[in-house]
Structure 1
Amino acid sequence: MQRPRIAFLIPSLETGGAERVVATLSNHLIDFFDVTILVLYKSPIFFDLDPRIQVVFCGDSYKPIYSLKHSFKTHIRLTRKIVSLLKTHNIDLIIGFMTTPNIYAVLASRLVKIPCIISERVHPEYIDTSKFWFKLRRRLYPIADNLIVQTQDIADYFSKFVNPKKIQIILNPLNPSLVEKRDQQVLKENIILNVGRLDYQKNQEMLIKAFANINADNWKLVIVGDGQEKEHYKSLINELNLNGKITLVGNTNNIAEYYNKASLFAFTSRYEGFPNALTEAMFFGLPCIATDCPSGPSELIDDSVNGLLIPSEDQLALEEKLQLLISNPELRSKISIATENNIDKFNVENVSQQWQKIINNLLN
């Protein structure tokens, strides 16, 4: 009996939270479905994928769009290409990840007449989108068969124009290969860790400035990730005379090494869809300080129990909590123990079963 064929649609498989979730889900769902990942633009694949998964690029490497006419032609061309690929690969169901792929997925699915699931990965109120895309999203999202989000806050936003019965909250799974690398025998070092893209959203600038203002003589700040703010952060670190105290690691294939040896985790985002890095840090038992940004941290952290929450963009509060944890190893230990509660809900088996149920309901 032939297995159902499903396809994920995503901009790239480079580093990123949405990309990691697609890779993790694909590696698990391949045991139940034939899985194809349609990638909008040709780019390097950062994540390890099961060899049974087929990756197909819809277009060449991304090039900036400079005019409305060029933009319209690009969108039409990509939509046609996706339709062609869905037919060629006999796809039974398509799953869009992120706003632009979601729009393409809805349009293509209706042209091919197959079910469509879409998934938002960032809080929609904070996505920098044009009025055209904003209106297009409001018109097309209600047509999708299901909309997957990660938090109640995001579900409430979309329920204003999408049938609430179509909206489901599914948490992001922990990567099984990362789970296997947790090692509680690793000797902890005096490291404050941050993991994420170096950009406005993640707001590592506040963390760098806060670290410069606290008494942390024998501590280091390690930031893992890459992005458009890298050169700015390098200059800032140099201006603050902290070149030996702050390390910008860049992207790495062995993030577990840093989670294992760090002593605390600082999460400074201005907004999120769901904070993957915070989830991972808590799984590794790191006491975490996180901004209470929309959305996600407050659904993970019970303030002063299994972590510390601070107002978004509040540098003084960040300095205060960093100093508190640095100077109080007993509090770090207490919070670390508390982080291990309720972590099973991020198990890939549990998350995958929820996705399987939705997919099977649409295919049957």
Structure 2
Amino acid sequence: MKKRAFLLSSLYYPNVGGVENSIKEFSLVLKDKGYEVTVITSNRNNVNNEVLADLDCLGDVKVIRCQYPYNAFGFFVFIRNVCKKISELRVGDSDFILSRSHWGVISVRLSGVKKINYLAPSVYFLQEKLDKDYMLSSKMLRYLINSIGQFFAFLFSDVFVFSQDMKKQVQTSCLGGCNPVVINPGVSSDRFHCVDEIDKRLLRDRLKLDGAVKYLLCVGRLSEIKQFDIAIKSLKSLEEKYHLLIVGSGPELEYYKSLLDSEGVSERVVIRPFTKDVDLYYKTSDIYLMTSRYESFGQVLLEATCCGLPVIAFSKSSGVRTSVSYIYEGFNFLLKECDKQSPSSLARTINGFEFDRKALNEEASEFSEKYNWSAAIDTIILDRDL
């Protein structure tokens, strides 16, 4: 009889992001290890208006979607529905359970299952900028609900994180109530790898991108926390050869579109929606920009580097809270840091940026060997069995 594994997440495909990608990669690894894999997620679709099926099958992995209303208290409905599925599927009798959602952890524990692995995607308590406008907005209620929910998830699960900084954040937010285990994430070498100049030109033709410019790439949800507006505003101070390519969807889309006109850079910016083929955009770009003010890890950095892109990111001294320095520790040619979170500082860094292609490719090859999804799963399984 096959071993059974359950993966829980608040979002899954067609939604695209670091969490969704990790769930997909974990499912592939577990299948290779002989598990029958089921993903339990929500019916939320942040990509298009398509109504998602309650039961689906993606790549031989069963996907079960539970209703999760778009309101502040929708999590009650989601937890109730997930608990029903956990009971129906006898999840407590399975061989491996991993959640990337704090609501998934709480649902499992409320269902009477005592052992649950939680790979935390971020720390809600620390990721928001709590200024006066935010605290007086409706977002504040969601922030409090998620922070409290995640606090209990940390206390009642075996917690795993992707960096030492993330470990410190978790311990701070749960008042030292848990001791997370740090594991390295992975990246699919089948998808994320370097291409030569000929293939790069062919990809630009395929994606209808200009073959004569240098593309600065940003990938991620179009939200305030990503600060893609800084990249847009920096273009006015950049050489004309630089164009900006943004791949993502989200609530800031209309703001970014209006910014293109007000900044006078609409001819130099391409915005494309999320796609499962995001690797094509890495392979056709020239430099990756990490402009986020908060990232628990930054899967996009692994993907960009494995595709041979040099990375420009804000330094820790600029005030951001990311794991950039941790990710690139020991590597000298993959990263250039910018010391201020401003368009002018970013532009100066880009304009003055030079890199050694041979040295970068050699380090990128070494870098890609460090990050492996199978090793991450093995660490979680080993920790569970201790």
TM-score (norm 1): 0.83
Letter in 1 for 2:161: V
Letter in 2 for 1:161: G
- Number of aligned residues: 342
Does the aligned pair in 2 maintain the 1:27–1:50 contact within 8 Å?
A: no
RMSD: 2.9
1:267-302 Cα shifts (integer Å, max 9, x gaps): 101101111111111111111101233232111235
1:53-109 Cα shifts (integer Å, max 9, x gaps): 2111122xx43225xxx557525523532432442795344321133333323333x
Which stretch of the first structure deviates more once superposed, 73-82 or 22-31? Answer: 73-82
Letter in 2 for 1:54: K
Q: Are positions 1:223 and 2:246 aligned together? A: yes
In the alignment, which of 372, 381, 385 is matched to residue 347 of structure 1? Answer: 372
Letter in 1 for 2:188: N
**Corresponding residue of 1:254:** 277
Q: Are positions 1:99 and 2:102 aligned together? A: yes
Letter in 2 for 1:3: K
Letter in 2 for 1:156: K
**Corresponding residue of 2:6:** 7
CA distance in structure 1 between the partners assigned to 2:266 and 2:286 by the alignment: 20
CA distance in structure 2 between the partners assigned to 1:322 and 1:300 by the alignment: 21
Alignment of 1:1-364 (within 5 A): 2-13=1-12, 14-32=15-33, 33-41=35-43, 43=45, 51-59=59-67, 62-65=68-71, 71=74, 73-74=76-77, 77-87=80-90, 91-108=94-111, 111=112, 113-124=113-124, 125-126=126-127, 130-144=143-157, 146-159=158-171, 160-164=175-179, 167-179=180-192, 182-185=194-197, 186-187=199-200, 190-214=214-238, 216-292=239-315, 293-302=320-329, 305-311=333-339, 313-325=341-353, 328=354, 330-331=355-356, 334-359=359-384, 361=385
Residue 335 of structure 1: how far off its partner (Å)? 4.2
Which stretch of the first structure deviates more once superposed, 181-190 or 308-317? Answer: 181-190
Letter in 1 for 2:62: Q
Which stretch of the first structure deviates more once superposed, 260-269 or 187-196? Answer: 187-196
Does the aligned pair in 1 maintain the 2:83–2:108 contact within 8 Å?
A: no
The answer for unaligned runs of 5 or more in structure 2 is 129-139, 202-212
Indicate the percent of aligned positions where both proteins have the same amino acid.
Answer: 20
Which stretch of the first structure deviates more once superposed, 308-317 or 6-15? Answer: 308-317
CA distance in structure 2 between the partners assigned to 1:131 and 1:242 by the alignment: 38
CA distance in structure 2 between the partners assigned to 1:171 and 1:190 by the alignment: 31
CA distance in structure 2 between the partners assigned to 1:207 and 1:320 by the alignment: 12
Residue 202 of structure 1: how far off its partner (Å)? 1.0
Residue 244 of structure 1: how far off its partner (Å)? 1.7
Letter in 2 for 1:209: K
CA distance in structure 1 between the partners assigned to 2:166 and 2:91 by the alignment: 35
Does the aligned pair in 1 maintain the 2:162–2:184 contact within 8 Å?
A: yes
Give the 4+ runs in structure 1 shifted more than 6 A: none
Does the aligned pair in 2 maintain the 1:191–1:220 contact within 8 Å?
A: yes
1:164-207 Cα shifts (integer Å, max 9, x gaps): 2xx2112221134413x542343475211111111111110000
1:141-180 Cα shifts (integer Å, max 9, x gaps): 2221x1011111121233343332xx2112221134413x
Say if 1:132 and 1:123 are closer, same or farther in 2 by CA, change over 3 A.
closer
CA distance in structure 1 between the partners assigned to 2:109 and 2:314 by the alignment: 34
The answer for unaligned runs of 5 or more in structure 1 is none
Say if 1:332 and 1:319 are closer, same or farther in 2 by CA, change over 3 A.
farther
Which stretch of the first structure deviates more once superposed, 50-59 or 276-285? Answer: 50-59
Match of 1:148, SS state, is strand
Letter in 2 for 1:357: L
Residue 345 of structure 1: how far off its partner (Å)? 1.6
Does the aligned pair in 2 maintain the 1:195–1:225 contact within 8 Å?
A: yes
CA distance in structure 2 between the partners assigned to 1:31 and 1:256 by the alignment: 23
Residue 321 of structure 1: how far off its partner (Å)? 0.9
Which stretch of the first structure deviates more once superposed, 153-162 or 240-249? Answer: 153-162
Does the aligned pair in 2 maintain the 1:58–1:81 contact within 8 Å?
A: no
CA distance in structure 2 between the partners assigned to 1:73 and 1:316 by the alignment: 45
Letter in 1 for 2:60: R
1:278-330 Cα shifts (integer Å, max 9, x gaps): 111111111110123323211123586421122462333211111112xx4x5
Residue 17 of structure 1: how far off its partner (Å)? 0.7
CA distance in structure 2 between the partners assigned to 1:288 and 1:208 by the alignment: 17
Residue 210 of structure 1: how far off its partner (Å)? 0.9
Match of 2:40, SS state, is strand
**Corresponding residue of 2:137:** none
CA distance in structure 2 between the partners assigned to 1:337 and 1:49 by the alignment: 39
